[in-house]
Chains A and B, each alone.
Chain A
Amino acid sequence: MDLITEPLSFAFMQRALYAGLAVSVVCAVIGVFVVQRGLAFIGDGLAHACFGGIAIGLYLGTDVENAVWMAIPFTVLIALGIGFVLRSSHLRGDVATGVFFSFSFALGILFLGLRSAAARPVNVESLLFGSILAVSPEVLNVVLIVSATALVVTLLLWSRLAYAIFDPELAAVSGVPVAALEYLLLGQTAVVIVVAVKTVGIVLVSSFIVIPAAAGRILGTTLARATMLAVAIGAAGAAFGLVASYHLDVPTGATIILTHCACFAVALALSRR
């Protein structure tokens, strides 16, 4: 028992646990939808895109902590742009994501370069690789509020969203506003990702979105079951990875990803039996 209680006696570990659980649960639920829509890379793409928003914020003179408020509208705009290209051309989701992602990253670098020489230099690394062990109480509050809101919105729209994403043509015929729901999904994914990047970093965000959703998908026979499995795997992986990384003295984010991956491998083995 000490193996679990000892690391969690530290306040920063508790905050890491809460943040990890919140982000993994909301990412797993969103992940089921975006992976189905062929947008598995949206997490990765938007996580990089938010760098552009942060850089614009810095250029306009905000400090690093508050630049996230600039990153949210910017990333939402990029997400809607991806949705627009997706709907109005024959290019696929991966192309739309990739084009916008490299553009916003380039924009970020340009804006960082345009800042006057007198401005305080920023550590780009800290912008890109948030650390789950360094979540401040204020950031934790934001994470909890955003995750809860996104979760509530998704659950309220659950059945219509599922209809629109899994069978868009039939849904459109039955009068479901497919386009609006898709934009809503993309927009709220963007908000969740900006906040998640701030807490857990870019690569961990992608893995939170893709791996639990994929694992839930291959085991779950219905959408509800797949989602519940995804949530369980996401949350368990975050908690286990956090504790394990403490004992093994290895980077936490990487340990969580490897735990998720192990869960996926087990799910794969179970589904093949």
Chain B
Amino acid sequence: MFESLHNIFILPWQDARLVFWPLILQGMLVSCALGLLGCFLVVRGMSLLGDALSHAVLPGIVIGFLVANHFGTASLHSPWILVGATAMGLVAAVLVELVRKQSRVKEDASLGIVFTTLFAFGVILVSRYAGQADLDPGCVLYGNIEYFTSLDGSLPDGVIPMAVILSLLVLGIIVFYRPLLITTFDPSLAVSVGIAVGVAHYGLMTALSLTIVASFEAVGAILAVGLLIVPGATARLWTDKLGRMLWFTVAFSIVSTLAGYWLSHRSNLNSSAGACIAAAGFGMFVVSWLIAPHAGLLSRWLVRRRLRRKIELENLIKTIGELTPVAANPPAVDAEALRRELHFTPGQLRRVLDRATTAGLLETSAAGITLTTTGKARQQRLAHAHLAWEAYLQEHLGLPADHVHDAAEWIEHYLHTDKLAAIAPATEPR
């Protein structure tokens, strides 16, 4: 048992011929850089900007390639391509803003229009200059992190530029943290406190185009989109605070890179590392979506269940009160009459009765069901809340008397002591 675990989890890392730490470092640099930028996109509802930009920069890549060709340095690593692509990314960002402001279309639709158009323009450029621009779409789509290596163990070519980009990003985020935070969550507030929202927006767009183009060769355009938003989306499920979200994102990026490499190892899937990193990231997203506090499916289900049980229980107590005639020593209530009044199934009634008995709210005898002293107090509090809300609605909102009952039926479950005290002064003296 222990040995097989050792074989699965430890052994792949010890195979010196297959584990290129420089490569893993490269993967971490790429996914941290993309992930940090992605946080801002996820919060702003522009997650697919990465995909859009990766298509939209095509004309820039072709133009950059042609310029490089003109100067006789035609290669896919030419800085002219990076310059052309980044410039085109900025053009795309300006166009998206232009279309959005000039028309009533939503931001994502405006993005969709601009990116398909620029891509079409790029395709036509490629078709016109196909002979000169030897672009390999396979590389752009797939990426191949494994090719980013030199077998003698020295640093792969892409590591230094990527490290520079990541350091600049981190520096930018630290220096401009406040303005970025405010523009991301509340652009109109940012304008009113004098932040240059436009500068922040286009700065982000420039950083994004640069990072995406630089990551193309490592992970491919489409997986870059995954690395861009999946860690951020996962972090968003765990926290509402941007600062914490950035830390979570870095952690998720690093863990999914390691998990992805492990998955792609020869003894496991023996497959593309980029794809495995993206798949590992998705796995983390799904797990977080299930178990994250507050936002997770499980915790939301628990909250709903607790609320449903509370309402069931309180309706039960209220109905017992309604079925009990006002008397010094009232008779017990018949369970079947109670069930019909509440529209409960027999099983449901039994479960609710059990919970109420455990909570000490009522007693069941051969004669039927009676409320205990605690139960009576609870019932009176509910009735008070109901009446208070009805009176509040009539006095402060001017609703007619026959419109307030249904609203009070719901609100009575949520009116706790402090809130009740806040509205009760208006109602008590009657």
Contacts and interface: CB of A to CB of B under 8 A. Distances in A.
B112 interface: yes
B117 interface: yes
B45 interface: yes
B147 to A, nearest CB: 15
A113 B127 contact: no
Interface string A99-129: 1011101110110011000000000110010
Nearest to B123: A254
Interface stretch (A85-93, A137-145, A148-156): A85-93
Contacts of A101: 51, 222, 225-226
A203 B116 contact: yes
Interface in B193-249: 222-223, 225-230, 233, 236-237
Interface in B274-294: 274-276, 278-279, 281-282, 285, 289
A128 B104 CA distance: 32
A129 B282 CA distance: 25
B189 interface: no
Given A94-B46, A99-B229, A128 B116 contact: no
A253 B123 contact: yes
State the majority secondary structure of interface residues on A. Answer: helix
B48 to A, nearest CB: 4
Interface stretch (B137-145, B178-186, B319-327, B376-384): B137-145
A106 B233 contact: no
Given A92-B45, A113-B272, A106 B282 contact: yes
B103 A45 contact: no
A12 B323 CA distance: 79
Nearest to A248: B124
B173 interface: no
A181 interface: no
A217 B106 CA distance: 11
Contacts of A110: 269, 271-272, 275-276, 279
Contacts of B270: 113
B236 A254 contact: no
Interface in A53-81: none
A105 B226 contact: yes
Contact of A40 (B109, B119, B282): B109
B229 A98 contact: yes
Contact of B124 (A44, A113, A209, A251): A251
Given A95-B233, A109-B271, A102 B225 contact: yes
A210 interface: yes
Interface residues of A, number: 57
B117 A124 contact: no
A68 B279 CA distance: 22
Contact of B106 (A40, A97, A107): A40
A98 B297 CA distance: 20
Contacts of B103: 214, 218, 268, 271
B120 interface: yes
A136 B142 CA distance: 28
Interface in A10-47: 35, 38-41, 43-45
Among B113, B117, B142, the one with the most A-chain Cβ atoms within 10 Å of its Cβ is B113
Contact of A207 (B106, B116, B236, B297): B116
B265 interface: no
B254 interface: no
A95 B117 contact: no
A87 B272 CA distance: 33
A38 B127 contact: no
Given A99-B282, A253-B120, A258-B121, A38 B108 contact: yes
A162 B51 CA distance: 29
Given A35-B106, A124-B141, A105 B269 contact: no
Contacts of A35: 105-106, 109
Given A114-B271, A211-B116, A38 B106 contact: yes
A251 B104 contact: no
A85 B123 CA distance: 34
Contact of B127 (A40, A89, A90, A251): A251
Contact of A48 (B52, B128, B222): B222
Nearest to A208: B116
Contacts of B230: 98-99, 102-103
A272 interface: yes
Nearest to A90: B295
B116 A102 contact: no
A265 B186 CA distance: 30
B47 A257 contact: no
B318 interface: no
B4 interface: no
B162 interface: no
B141 A128 contact: yes
Interface of A: 35, 38-41, 43-45, 48, 85, 88-95, 97-99, 101-103, 105-107, 109-110, 113-114, 124-125, 128, 203-204, 206-207, 209-211, 213-214, 217-218, 250-251, 253-255, 257-258, 261, 264, 268, 271-272
29 contacts: A35-B105, A38-B108, A41-B111, A43-B112, A44-B48, A88-B300, A89-B289, A94-B48, A95-B45, A98-B51, A98-B225, A98-B228, A98-B229, A98-B233, A101-B222, A102-B278, A103-B230, A107-B279, A113-B271, A114-B269, A203-B55, A203-B119, A207-B116, A207-B117, A214-B103, A214-B112, A250-B127, A258-B117, A268-B103
Given A98-B229, A207-B120, A254-B119, 12 more contacts: A38-B45, A41-B111, A45-B48, A95-B42, A98-B225, A102-B229, A106-B223, A113-B269, A113-B271, A124-B138, A257-B120, A258-B117
**7 tightest Cβ-Cβ pairs between the two chains A and B:** A102-B226, A210-B112, A106-B278, A257-B120, A113-B271, A254-B120, A207-B116
